[in-house]
Amino acid sequence: MSEVQAASAPWGCDKGTIETSPDLLSGVSLPAAVVFEAPLSHNLEWMQRFATDHGARLAPHGKTTMTPALFQRQLDAGAWGITLATAPQCRAAFAHGVRHLLMANQVVGEANMAIVADLIEAGADFYCVVDSVANVRQLGHYFAARDLRLQVLIELGVEGGRCGCRDHDQVLALAELIDSAPALVLAGLEGYEGVVHGDNPETAIRRYAWHLVEVAQALDHDGLIESPTPLITASGSAWYDLVAGIFHEAHLGEHFVPVLRPGCYVVHDHGIYRQAQRGVLGRRPDLERGLLPALEVFAQVQSLPEPGLAIVALGKRDIGFDHLPEPLRRYREGGSAEHTLSVRGWKVARLMDQHAFLRLPEEATESRNSEVRVGDIVAFGASHPCLTFDKWRSIALVDDKLQVLAMMPTCF
């Protein structure tokens, strides 16, 4: 058994298990989710440099990948910690060496509180968010009974959004309640600009970011933050430049630790975040090159049942479908990375559980050298990487020659 095979063997039902050789075009059961090393390395360095240049720490949202090998790559690149969405996600990250855990969500229910308490007892530096009197009282009672102190961030939301206090006064009232709860430590303020909408979203997000700044400064002024190193944190994967710029402009680093939380940057995408990145670079032409898509899903042509139609063994169980997948390149099975065939004019028209309907232009069957064959391998780009990663028990890390460098287990 090869080193790559051994790495994937414990995950016996993995899609993409290596069977014969570490060559993606001949030795991997397809479909398989693939991350390319070169753009991955670029993205890790690019976003870390962006955060550092803005005086902020980086706590990438781990729910995007739930891949411990990628968590470690992010930490090795300089990330302060990892953001997660649920208590079990936090437990998985801590089990793989992540010490600083920022749960950008409320901890509700005693079963989840027990997970968090166990993490704190084991040495985790854990933070979660609160936005209600009821939750503060529940947490205060539970963690007092466990003789532990829980670090909490008040979440500032927006009207019509999801969670979060809706105004300044509600935040301050909640801060005073936390101050009276011996088992709770107010450690700062949290927000998420991705739920801010309007006719002019850029203006609305700037206004929201400045509101975060003002509320954080009010909490600091009133002496309601107990932590000696309080956090102010926001930023998803679309508007991080605005949030980081405003935190930096407000000199928040003098009293707070600014923490940015983008997650999708690590592999970027071929859809909504590619479009969002164009907006970032349009607002910030000083930023060099930008992020690069690193995640693709490789699958094979399964049937050519009628002219102009190819059925590919790729479906909703294999790839995100917020937007339909984008055909990028085609190879012959057993071929080489350098020998690519055209997918010009190819379009995914329909996606079922495990089948993609590809409409082909006439020229796809005109040339004997490039005609489509059953068994051809097609690389697809996806939009919104969170909804592709969660379909896989392991991800293949490959180089530009399509040699598999490692199989990276996920923890969904």
pLDDT at residue number 9: 35
Q: Which helix H or strand E contains 114, and what residues bound it?
A: helix 110-121
- Specify the amino acid at residue 133: V
User: Same domain, yes or no, for 230 and 116?
Assistant: yes
User: Same domain, yes or no, for 251 and 392?
Assistant: no
Per-residue pLDDT tens digits for 93-112: 999 999 999 999 999 999 99
Q: What's the number of domains the chain is made of? A: 2
Q: Is residue 50 part of a domain?
A: no
pLDDT at residue number 197: 85
User: Same domain, yes or no, for 224 and 334?
Assistant: no
What is the average per-residue pLDDT within 210-234? 97
Q: Is residue 176 part of a domain?
A: yes
Task: Give the predicted TM-score (pTM) of the model.
Answer: 0.93
User: Same domain, yes or no, for 228 and 299?
Assistant: no
User: Same domain, yes or no, for 196 and 111?
Assistant: yes
Q: Is residue 285 part of a domain?
A: no
User: Same domain, yes or no, for 106 and 254?
Assistant: yes
Per-residue pLDDT tens digits for 107-120: 999 999 999 999 99
Closest by alpha carbon to 235, among 72, 59, 93, 101? 59
What is the average per-residue pLDDT within 213-225? 96
Q: What is the distance, to the nearest Å, from the Cα of residue 181 to the centroid of all Cα atoms in its chain?
A: 33
Q: Is residue 378 part of a domain?
A: yes
User: Same domain, yes or no, for 246 and 315?
Assistant: no
Beta bridge partners of 78: none
Q: Is residue 42 part of a domain?
A: no
The overall average pLDDT reported for the chain is 93
Q: Is residue 222 part of a domain?
A: yes
Could you tell me the two tokens for 158? 């927006």
In this predicted model, which residue has the larger pLDDT, 237 or 253?
237
Q: What are phi and psi of 304, to 5 degrees?
A: -125, 70
Where residue 144 sits, what CATH number does that domain have? 3.20.20.10
pLDDT at residue number 364: 65
Instruction: Tell me how far apart the alpha carbons of residues 389 and 61 are, in angstroms, rounded to a whole number.
Output: 13
pLDDT level of residue 369 (50, 70, 90 thresholds)? low
Per-residue pLDDT tens digits for 278-337: 999 999 999 988 999 999 999 999 999 999 999 999 999 999 999 999 999 999 999 999
Instruction: Tell me how far apart the alpha carbons of residues 235 and 81 are, in angstroms, rounded to a whole number.
Output: 15
pLDDT beyond 60 at 28 = yes
Q: Is residue 395 part of a domain?
A: yes
User: Same domain, yes or no, for 127 and 251?
Assistant: yes
Domain enclosing residue 193, as ranges: 99-262
Q: Which helix H or strand E contains 299, and what residues bound it?
A: strand 295-306
pLDDT beyond 80 at 123 = yes
User: Same domain, yes or no, for 295 and 333?
Assistant: yes
User: Same domain, yes or no, for 251 and 313?
Assistant: no
Q: Is residue 331 part of a domain?
A: yes
Per-residue pLDDT tens digits for 230-247: 999 999 999 999 999 999
User: Same domain, yes or no, for 257 and 295?
Assistant: no
